Amino acid sequence: MTAPHIIVAGTRRSWSPEQKRAILAEADDPATTASATARRHGLHSSLLFRWRRAVLAEQQARTASAPPTFVPLALPPPAAATAERPTGSGVVEIELAGGHRLRAEAGADLSLLQGVIATLLGR
């Protein structure tokens, strides 16, 4: 015959986000260690490291969803319709933040390029 399992209710503590941030800030202090901070607050150091990973993942998710930063570019107005297009095979390459790269041949439609750039930047 096996002994019955006894479950004690209320042994699990919960921490508010403010308390977690304060404990993590204390653990980041170079004058102490994460283990010492965990002992002072009566928690296991692995929980402290799990909180730290969760905060890091949250920060990475926020920066990944932020719009890319870029240097604004002002393009000149299109040339007159009577002007001849260059006969060479010149190519313009535009590299945008986030790894997007756009290549266009000389004489490409300017409004089309502006639309493509706006789409790549999520506007």
pLDDT of residue 114: 86
Outline where DSSP puts E strands in the chain: 91-95, 101-105
In tens, the pLDDT along 3-14 reads: 565 555 556 788
What's the count of helices (H) and strands (E) in the chain, helices before strands?
A: 4, 2
The residue whose two tokens read 């006969």 is 87
Is residue 68 within 8 A of residue 96, CB to CB? The reply is yes
CA distance linking residue 43 with residue 83, whole number of Å: 75
Residue 36 above 80 pLDDT?
yes
**Phi then psi for 101, rounded to 5 degrees?**
-135, 130
Q: What's the Rg (C-alpha) of the chain?
A: 29
Read off the pLDDT band of 26 (50, 70, 90).
Answer: very high
pLDDT of residue 63: 78
Read off the pLDDT band of 101 (50, 70, 90).
Answer: confident
In 3D space, the residue among 49, 102, 98 whose CA is nearest the CA of residue 75 turns out to be 102
CA distance linking residue 98 with residue 121, whole number of Å: 9
pTM of the model: 0.46
CA distance linking residue 28 with residue 68, whole number of Å: 30
In tens, the pLDDT along 39-95 reads: 999 889 999 999 999 999 998 888 777 776 777 788 888 766 555 555 556 888 888
